[in-house]
Amino acid sequence: MVAGLTTMVEVEHVSYAVGRARILHDVSVRFQPRKLNVLLGPNGAGKSTLLKIATGLLTPTAGLVRYMLPQGARALDTFPVDALARTRAVLSQHVEVAFPLAVEDVVLMGRYPHYGRTPTARDLEIVAAALDLVGMTDFRGRVYPTLSGGEQQKVQLARVLAQIWNEGESPRGQKCLFLDEPTSNLDVHYQLHLLEIARGLRDVDCTVIAVLHDLNMALQHGDAFFLLDGGRVVLETEDATTIPRDLLERVFRVRADRAVDSETGESFWRFRL
Amino acid sequence: MIPRTRRGHAGVYLTLVGLLAASLVLSAAVGAFTFTPARIATLTAQLLGWVPAAPADALDRNVFIQLRLPRVLLAGLTGAVLGVSGTLMQGLFRNPIVEPGLVGTSAGAAFGAAIVFVFGAGTFTRPLGTLAVPVLAFAGAFAATMIVYRLSTAFGKVHVFTLLLAGIAVNAVCGAGTGFLSYIARDPQARNITFWNLGTFTTADWRGVTLVAICFVVCFGWSLRAGKALNALMLGEEEAAYLGIDPRRLVMQLLVANTLMVAVATAMVGVIAFVGLVIPHVLRMLKSSDYTFLLPASALLGAVTMEIIDVVARLIIPPAELPIGIITAVVGAPVFLAILLRQTRQGGAWLQG
């Protein structure tokens, strides 16, 4: 039974170097199933590299990545690419397309790993459901390059959701969604909407692993936090309130103050140089 | 159930097949000898052995079978090759202005083939026998295409300016090489190179038709399986990789398939530019950028277009024939400029790749 598993993606002693530059030093983290795992850290800390290694896009110089699936652990180097594509999906910062492609066709690409020559009725249902979930049903016939940045990002979200759609399958598979700074081009409404959808995925056996830049947004919505600095994990916690202030100040090179929202009583960080 | 965006594709295919049949008959009918459709039907039936060959038809049959028919088929096949090639290259380079003439594939093939024409069968090409021309054409085309591809796709993105400039440079080098060869060549060869540099179907024979047909069927059949992967590649190499596609392998396989059929066709008929650009562009405007549709449709539309161009080439200055490349350049270059202008006006996001 999957309920017993405490890890979805396991990164073990991973190092990564490009030429002489060592980007990750012996990193080991366990991303927890059905949670919103957040990677935090300043620019150049190695967050995106760690994410790309965990997705299988980059091969680590040393160490390995395992996916803990109901049928057993699976190391990335023995995971067939198409089976991996049915298990995890990745939402990047921004996806540009030079050709006049319909929104529906973009989302259908998420189903490519699932069908051969022609999509099944089920694939098309999932495309429709994914568009509905991100609130883009009315845009399904529109031409992708003509949409605004926020709309394009929602279409991409629908595409990656369609790729790992996890409803109506029995037994439900364990799926994993990676978000690589997905909100950096979005206004606050789109940011919150995207994070809400990501949190909702936890209820359908989906693990979310995200690189987020907005610290307060991340701490407010995340379930488990991994703080990176200089290619090493310096803190791992599930309780956002336990993150020590001096660590934040040192890692991000800012002055940090804890403030309390007078209306909601929630605490948040206020930063200055 | 068919997705909304897929509806009507069958209609396009049917229309194109109808047009192809009509253009084949037209192309078979027109020329120094005119054959009526009824005559074409009789002669084809005799060729296929459906009806006994009448001795009275011997001359007609000879002209039709040895001259006209290979020419018609070679034109159609070349059009299909160039149409599919344009589609494939635009998919691989993720840009709608790419075609075999632009990135040096055709010029490289021409250079390779010219080496064989000038130095002849008795030299280092002897072990290759009659395949020397296509083999060297492929070598030249592949080298030229790889140089341009490598230069323009550094860091996983396509840099359009690098692509255009690398294309210009590679085309110039290959053009200079071909020019040098025709300069040192003795007269009949030199005239051949010049004429063949502009594209011609006058030298069509059954051997050429067979060779191009085999390469086309193999390479086109192979590339048909890549429709979905090319679609995914529109999102970029990383996104395609996340969808379970190995972009490096895909690109290499398709570059080989594409170069092979273009090189062999070019070795037979010479350089014909702009067809590979215009065909996919028209289909994109008509219908969609979906490669599972574009690949078969561009083969059909390419064949139809080339038949019509060849008919025009035969009719425009009788009894002489206009080189094919002149007509395609006159029609294609303005289309190229129009695409460039429209894309630049749209903000040029694609210019940065």
From B212's Cα to the closest Cα of chain A, the distance in A is 27
Distance CA A176, CA A83 (A): 13
- Give pLDDT tens digits for B247-264: 888 988 998 999 999 999
Please give the Cα distance from A76 to A84 (Å, whole number). 8
Contact B5 A113 (CB under 8 A): no
**Beta carbons within 10 angstroms of residue B22's beta carbon:** 13
Q: What is this model's ipTM?
A: 0.91
User: What is the tens place of the pLDDT at every residue in B307-336?
Assistant: 999 999 988 887 788 889 889 988 888 888
Same domain, A26 and A130: yes
pLDDT > 70: percent of chain B: 90
Residue B193 or A127, more confident: A127
Residues A252 and A229 in one domain: no
Same domain, A237 and A251: no
Residues A183 and A65 in one domain: yes
Please tell me whether residues A179 and A261 are part of one structural domain. no
CB A141 to CB B5 under 8 A? Answer: yes
Q: Can you give the pLDDT at residue B29?
A: 87
Co-location of A264 and A168 in the same domain: no
Interval B15-67: pLDDT, tens: 999 999 999 999 988 877 788 888 888 888 887 878 777 777 778 888 888 88
The verdict on A226 and A273 lying in the same domain is: no
Are A206 and A232 within one domain? yes
Q: Which of B159, B242, B295 is most worth mutating to test chain A (most A CB atoms within 10 A of its CB)?
A: B242
Are A250 and A204 contained in the same domain? no
Choose among B244, B284, B289: nearest Cβ to A113. B244
Instruction: Supply the CATH classification number for the domain B11-352.
Output: 1.10.3470.10
Q: In what order do the strands lie in the sheet with A72-75?
A: A21-31, A9-18, A62-69, A72-75
pTM for the model stands at: 0.87
**Could you give the 3-state DSSP secondary structure of residue A267?**
strand
Which of helix, strand or coil describes residue A96? coil
Average pLDDT over residues A64-77: 88
- Domain residue limits at A187: 2-242
CB contact (8 A) between residue A57 and residue B289: no
Domain count for chain A, please give it: 2
Rounded Cα distance between B304 and A102, Å, is: 28
Taking an 8 Å cut-off on Cβ atoms, the answer to whether A96 and B349 are in contact is: yes
**Which is more confident, B154 or A179?**
A179
Do A112 and A79 have their domain in common?
Answer: yes
Supply the mean pLDDT for chain B.
85
Q: Name the DSSP letter for residue B53.
A: P
Query: What residues pair up with A259 in beta bridges, in sequence order?
Result: A268
A96-123: average pLDDT:
90
User: Is A101 within 8 Å of B94 when comparing Cβ atoms?
Assistant: no
B111, B176 contact by CB (below 8 A) = no
- DSSP codes, A145-168: GGS-HHHHHHHHHHHHHHHT--SS
On whether both A173 and A184 belong to a single domain, the answer is yes
